[in-house]
């Protein structure tokens, strides 16, 4: 209730007790005693800090703020009023339904296929079926989950292996090169895209030792929380409805989301506008400070694209939005990524 409300009039005829009110000071005041919330949170964290660390020291160097203003200007050769989105569900995938819902809400038609992996023959048949469905779609969406049990260096590896099958590889490259298609990978999907080379190179290729990658969070365990990210490039058609510098509050849930790359590669990505999104602090500045940068990503990078922007990989679960999702967490949560992907084909 507003402090301007007259409680006597508002609760006339009712028995009530005013329990407290908010204040500007970052503290709790009880019976005249003032408790700093910083001290309260420290007392809450400290008992198990040595067992389950809640804090980690990252680089104190401030990451650059990237700003790439040039938008993607090309259109697909054939317009589609309701683009078809193929969503493969691999062992461990758990985000196919909310991804499908987000695309359907944006006006797309979705197609989910669960990979069968009980026998080698079933895997072969599933790969052939996936390749066929990619050939009938305009968008490939690789959702998040716990592929490979989210084990160290295992995340996304099964997905990556499947996509390196010649049949699948041909279907994906035909989608990109012949039909002007789009690809989106979130969390596990991002891990698969970067392992394949689709980001940042825009093609499936062998990865070298100095290629960008995603590795374990600096804190050494899984992170699940809301973070703030900033739109740092307008290159991608996936960000057609975004404005440069816009900040969104996005859920993350991963154990291996730390983006690392050599300095020269970072310069190249920045120059080409491929650094799409960055983790930021409460002031909206890219940061290395935990937990605003939840995994210790270099340059505070949360998402990157292919050179032309049509392949987009990111760690944050942009599909996890709704009227009651994070209702008590401030901030804009809808990045309009799915609407942008659908609009691209119209």
Q: Which pLDDT value is given to residue 13?
A: 92
The model scores a pTM over 0.85: yes
Q: Are residues 95 and 159 in the same domain?
A: yes
Rounded to whole angstroms, the Cα distance separating 296 from 56 reads 9
pLDDT at 299 over 70: yes
Q: Are residues 171 and 296 in the same domain?
A: yes
In a domain, 68, yes or no: no
Name the band, by pLDDT with cuts 50, 70 and 90, for residue 296.
very high
Q: Which pLDDT value is given to residue 57?
A: 73
The mean per-residue pLDDT over the stretch 84-95 comes to 96
Name the band, by pLDDT with cuts 50, 70 and 90, for residue 304.
very high
Write out the residue range of the structural domain in which residue 25 sits.
Answer: 7-48
Q: Are residues 165 and 310 in the same domain?
A: yes
Q: Are residues 292 and 178 in the same domain?
A: yes
Q: Which pLDDT value is given to residue 189?
A: 96
- Which of 217, 58, 219 lies closest to 152, judged by CA? 217
In a domain, 183, yes or no: yes
Q: Which pLDDT value is given to residue 123?
A: 96
- Which of 268, 247, 95, 78 lies closest to 184, judged by CA? 95
Name the band, by pLDDT with cuts 50, 70 and 90, for residue 34.
very high
Q: For the chain, how many structural domains are there in total?
A: 2
State the DSSP string of 211-259. S-EEE--TTSS-EEEEEEEEE-B--SGGGTT--TT-EEEEEEEESS-EE
In a domain, 69, yes or no: no
User: Which sign does the torsion angle of CA 204, 207, 212, 216 carry?
Assistant: positive
In a domain, 64, yes or no: no
Say if residue 291 is preceded by a cis peptide, omega within 30 of 0. Answer: yes
CATH of the domain at 335: 3.40.50.880
The mean per-residue pLDDT over the stretch 1-24 comes to 89
Rounded to whole angstroms, the Cα distance separating 287 from 295 reads 11
Q: Which pLDDT value is given to residue 122?
A: 97
The mean per-residue pLDDT over the stretch 178-194 comes to 97
In a domain, 209, yes or no: yes
Q: Which pLDDT value is given to residue 163?
A: 97
Q: Are residues 96 and 234 in the same domain?
A: yes
Q: Which pLDDT value is given to residue 61?
A: 83
Rounded to whole angstroms, the Cα distance separating 191 from 155 reads 7
Q: How would you write 3-45 as a 3-class SS string? A: CCCCHHHHCCCCCCCCCCCCCCCCEEEECCEEEEHHHHHHHHH
pLDDT at 51 over 80: yes
In a domain, 59, yes or no: no
Q: Are residues 36 and 164 in the same domain?
A: no
In a domain, 60, yes or no: no
* CB contact at 8 A, 196 and 189: no
Q: Are residues 36 and 144 in the same domain?
A: no
Q: Are residues 184 and 269 in the same domain?
A: yes
The mean per-residue pLDDT over the stretch 319-325 comes to 91
C-alpha dist (Å) from residue 67 to 144, 187, 230: 28, 24, 10
Helices 120-135, 166-177: inter-axial angle, 10-degree rounding: 10
């Amino acid at each position: 209730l507003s402090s301007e409300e007259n409680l006597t009039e508002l609760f006339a005829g009712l028995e009530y007790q005013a329990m407290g009110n908010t204040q500007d000071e970052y503290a709790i005041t009880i019976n005249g005693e003032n408790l700093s919330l910083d001290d309260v949170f420290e007392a809450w964290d400290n008992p198990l800090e040595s067992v389950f660390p809640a804090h980690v020291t990252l680089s104190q160097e401030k990451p650059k703020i990237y700003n790439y203003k040039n938008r993607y200007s090309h259109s697909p050769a054939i317009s589609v009023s309701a683009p078809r989105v193929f969503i493969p569900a691999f062992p461990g995938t758990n985000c196919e339904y909310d991804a499908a819902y987000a695309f359907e809400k944006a006006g797309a038609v979705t197609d989910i296929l669960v990979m069968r992996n009980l026998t080698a023959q079933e895997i072969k048949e599933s790969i052939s079926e996936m390749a066929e469905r990619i050939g009938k779609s305009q968008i490939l969406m690789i959702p998040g989950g716990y592929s490979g049990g989210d084990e160290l260096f295992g995340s996304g590896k099964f997905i990556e292996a499947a996509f390196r099958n010649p049949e699948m590889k041909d279907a994906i490259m035909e989608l990109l090169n012949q039909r002007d298609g789009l690809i989106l990978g979130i969390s596990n999907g991002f891990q698969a895209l970067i392992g394949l080379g689709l980001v940042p190179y825009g093609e499936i290729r062998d990865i070298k030792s100095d290629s960008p990658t995603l590795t374990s969070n600096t804190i050494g365990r899984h992170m699940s929380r809301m973070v703030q990210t900033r739109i740092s490039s307008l290159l991608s058609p996936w960000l057609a409805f975004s404005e440069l510098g816009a900040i969104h509050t996005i859920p993350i849930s991963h154990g291996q989301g730390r983006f690392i790359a050599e300095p020269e590669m970072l310069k190249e990505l920045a120059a080409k506008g491929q650094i799409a999104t960055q983790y930021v602090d409460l002031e909206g500045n890219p940061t290395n400070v935990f937990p605003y940068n939840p995994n210790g990503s270099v340059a505070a990078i949360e998402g990157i694209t292919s050179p032309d922007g049509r392949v987009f990989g990111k760690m944050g679960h942009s599909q996890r939005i709704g009227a009651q999702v994070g209702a008590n967490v401030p901030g804009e949560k809808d990045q309009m990524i799915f609407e942008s992907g659908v609009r691209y084909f119209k």
